[in-house]
C-alpha cells in the first residue's frame, strides 16, 4: 500500500509553508482519568493550519477522549489544551470554542428538517447570523446544493454525514475534529467526503480525523499519529514514518483458499507471517522482493492451500502493528 497524494495540492501547500506551520491547536502532556482508569497518559499533539492530521489507534486507546479534551468537554488532570493562534484553553471562553467544529461519529442532525433548515438552526444555536450567503457558501463547500431542500431523514448515510460536516462549519472554525466520518457508508459517499475534506484543508482549515481505516489515512493524511495506551507512540508524515521504520523492506501477503493446518501454520510463522482477517490472509515483512521466492518454495513444500502471493510496499497497518504490537481490534 502506498500513499495516494494530490501532487498539485501538495505543491500549493509547500508554497504556503508559512501558513501550514501556524499552530491552530495544541494538547500537551495530557493526562486524563475517567472512572478510575487513565485514558490519556501524556498525549501531546499540535495541529497546523492547512493540514489533515489522522489519529490512529486501537479501541480504548483514548482517541475519542483526546478529541473531547480538545473541545473542552473533558477537564485534564494534568497538561494543557490551547486553541487558536493564542492557544486559549477552550474551557475558558466561548470565543475559543467557536474556533472548533466537531463532527461526532454518530450523525447529530434534525431529521425532520431540510439540509438548509438544519444549517439555519445550528447557526442560531451558536448565535451566528445565518445569512443566505453564508448558508449557500456552506452548501457549496460540502457539495450539498443539490439536496439543500431535502429532508435529512430522506438522505443516504453518506449525505447525512456531509450535512453533519456542514453543520460543524457554521461557526467558520479554524479546527475541524472528525470522529470516524466515513464509517458505515459506501465507497462513492466516502470519496465525496474525502473531496470535501481536501477542499477544506486547501482553504487553511486544520483537520484532525480519528479513523480505524488505514487506507483512508494513507490517502488523506499530511501527518499521522499512532495513539496507544493514552500517548502518541509515533508521529510524522506517512511516507517518512514508513521509510524510517522499514527502509527497503517489502510487505508480503499470502492468501489461502482454506484455513492453514498445523504444518502450514508452522511454515507461515517460520517465514515471518502472521494471520490477518480470519486466518486466510497472512502478512509479514521480508528484506526485499527477491526473498519472496524463498517463502513461496517453503509454502509449496508443505502443500499450503495458496491462492496468491502479493508483494507491496509496507503500509500503515503493518507499521501500527510494528510500533505497538497490537491490531486495531
Asked whether residue 320 is assigned to any structural domain, the reply reads: no
How far is 184 from 164, CA to CA, in rounded Å? 15
Same domain, 63 and 98: yes
Same domain, 79 and 181: yes
User: What's the average model confidence in pLDDT over 4-21?
Assistant: 44
Of the candidates 188, 221, 243, which is a domain's last residue?
243
Asked whether residue 79 is assigned to any structural domain, the reply reads: yes
Query: Worst-scoring range by mean pLDDT, 60-74, 121-135, 215-229, 234-248?
Result: 121-135
Asked whether residue 97 is assigned to any structural domain, the reply reads: yes
Asked whether residue 324 is assigned to any structural domain, the reply reads: no
Report the percentage of the chain scoring pLDDT > 70.
91
Same domain, 281 and 184: no
Asked whether residue 116 is assigned to any structural domain, the reply reads: yes
For the chain, how many structural domains are there in total? 2
Same domain, 166 and 306: no
Question: What pLDDT is stored for residue 85 in this prediction?
Answer: 80
Determine how many CB atoms are found less than 10 A away from the CB of residue 36. 5
Question: What pLDDT is stored for residue 203 in this prediction?
Answer: 93
- The closest alpha carbon to 278, from 300, 292, 260, belongs to 260
At residue 196 the predicted structure's pLDDT band, cuts being 50, 70 and 90, is very high
User: What's the average model confidence in pLDDT over 251-256?
Assistant: 92
Asked whether residue 239 is assigned to any structural domain, the reply reads: yes
How far is 241 from 227, CA to CA, in rounded Å? 14
Give the residue, 13 or 166, on which the prediction is more confident: 166
Question: What pLDDT is stored for residue 329 in this prediction?
Answer: 43
Exposed e or buried b for every residue in 77-87, given b needs 16+ CB within 10 A? eebebbbbeeb
Please say if the pLDDT value at position 233 is more than 70. Answer: yes
Indicate the helix (H) or strand (E) that contains 210: strand 206-210
Asked whether residue 325 is assigned to any structural domain, the reply reads: no
Q: What's 280's domain CATH number? A: 3.30.70.100
User: What's the average model confidence in pLDDT over 25-43?
Assistant: 94
Of the candidates 219, 243, 267, which is a domain's last residue?
243
Same domain, 199 and 141: yes
Same domain, 273 and 133: no
Same domain, 93 and 108: yes
Answer whether 211's CB lies under 8 Å from 204's CB.
no
Same domain, 25 and 145: yes
Same domain, 230 and 205: yes
Asked whether residue 2 is assigned to any structural domain, the reply reads: no
At residue 13 the predicted structure's pLDDT band, cuts being 50, 70 and 90, is very low
Q: What's 159's domain CATH number? A: 3.40.50.300
Please say if the pLDDT value at position 4 is more than 80. Answer: no
Give every CB contact of residue 259 below 8 A, 6+ residues apart in sequence: 279, 280
Question: What pLDDT is stored for residue 26 in this prediction?
Answer: 94
Question: What pLDDT is stored for residue 326 in this prediction?
Answer: 61
Answer whether 314's CB lies under 8 Å from 242's CB.
yes
Residue reference for cell 489507534: 57
Same domain, 296 and 166: no
Report the percentage of the chain scoring pLDDT > 90.
59
How far is 323 from 328, CA to CA, in rounded Å? 12
Please say if the pLDDT value at position 198 is more than 90. Answer: yes
Give the residue, 53 or 129, on which the prediction is more confident: 53
Instruction: Output the pTM of the full model.
Output: 0.84
Same domain, 186 and 277: no
Same domain, 207 and 302: no
Please say if the pLDDT value at position 84 is more than 60. Answer: yes
At residue 127 the predicted structure's pLDDT band, cuts being 50, 70 and 90, is low
pLDDT tens track for 36-83:
899 999 999 999 999 999 999 888 889 999 999 999 899 999 999 999
Mean pLDDT of the chain: 87
Give the residue, 259 or 328, on which the prediction is more confident: 259
Question: What pLDDT is stored for residue 1 in this prediction?
Answer: 32
Please say if the pLDDT value at position 251 is more than 60. Answer: yes
How far is 57 from 229, CA to CA, in rounded Å? 9
Could you tell me the residue range of the domain that residue 268 belongs to?
Answer: 250-313
Amino acid at each position: 500500500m502506498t500513499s495516494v497524494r494530490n501532487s498539485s495540492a501538495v505543491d500549493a501547500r509547500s508554497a504556503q509553508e508559512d501558513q501550514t506551520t501556524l499552530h491552530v491547536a495544541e494538547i500537551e502532556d495530557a493526562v486524563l482519568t475517567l472512572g478510575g482508569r487513565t485514558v490519556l497518559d501524556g498525549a501531546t499533539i499540535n495541529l497546523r493550519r492547512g493540514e489533515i492530521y489522522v489519529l490512529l489507534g486501537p479501541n480504548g486507546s483514548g482517541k475519542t477522549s483526546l478529541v473531547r479534551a480538545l473541545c473542552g468537554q473533558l477537564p485534564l488532570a494534568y497538561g494543557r489544551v490551547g486553541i487558536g493562534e493564542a492557544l486559549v484553553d477552550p474551557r475558558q471562553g466561548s470565543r475559543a470554542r467557536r474556533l472548533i467544529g466537531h463532527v461526532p461519529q454518530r450523525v447529530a442532525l434534525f431529521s425532520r428538517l431540510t439540509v438548509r433548515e438544519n444549517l439555519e438552526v445550528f447557526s442560531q444555536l451558536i448565535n451566528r447570523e445565518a445569512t443566505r450567503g453564508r448558508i449557500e457558501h456552506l452548501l457549496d463547500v460540502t457539495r450539498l446544493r443539490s439536496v439543500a431542500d431535502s429532508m435529512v431523514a430522506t438522505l443516504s448515510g453518506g449525505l447525512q454525514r456531509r450535512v453533519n460536516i456542514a453543520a460543524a462549519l457554521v461557526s467558520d472554525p479554524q479546527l475541524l475534529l472528525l470522529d470516524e466520518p466515513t464509517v458505515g457508508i459506501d465507497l462513492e459517499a466516502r470519496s465525496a467526503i474525502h473531496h470535501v475534506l481536501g477542499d477544506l484543508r486547501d482553504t487553511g482549515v486544520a483537520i484532525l480525523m480519528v479513523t480505524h481505516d488505514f487506507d483512508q489515512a494513507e490517502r488523506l493524511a499530511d501527518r499521522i499519529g499512532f495513539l496507544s495506551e493514552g500517548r502518541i507512540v509515533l508521529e510524522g508524515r506517512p511516507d517518512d514514518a514508513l521509510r524510517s521504520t522499514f527502509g527497503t523492506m517489502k510487505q508480503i501477503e499470502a492468501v489461502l483458499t482454506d484455513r492453514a493446518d498445523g504444518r502450514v501454520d508452522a511454515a507461515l510463522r517460520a517465514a515471518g507471517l502472521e494471520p490477518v482477517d480470519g486466518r486466510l490472509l497472512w502478512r509479514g515483512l521480508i528484506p526485499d522482493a527477491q526473498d519472496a521466492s524463498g517463502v513461496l518454495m517453503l509454502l509449496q513444500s508443505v502443500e499450503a492451500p495458496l491462492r496468491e502471493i502479493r508483494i507491496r510496499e509496507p503500509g500503515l497497518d503493518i507499521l501500527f502493528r510494528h510500533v505497538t504490537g497490537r491490531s486495531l481490534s
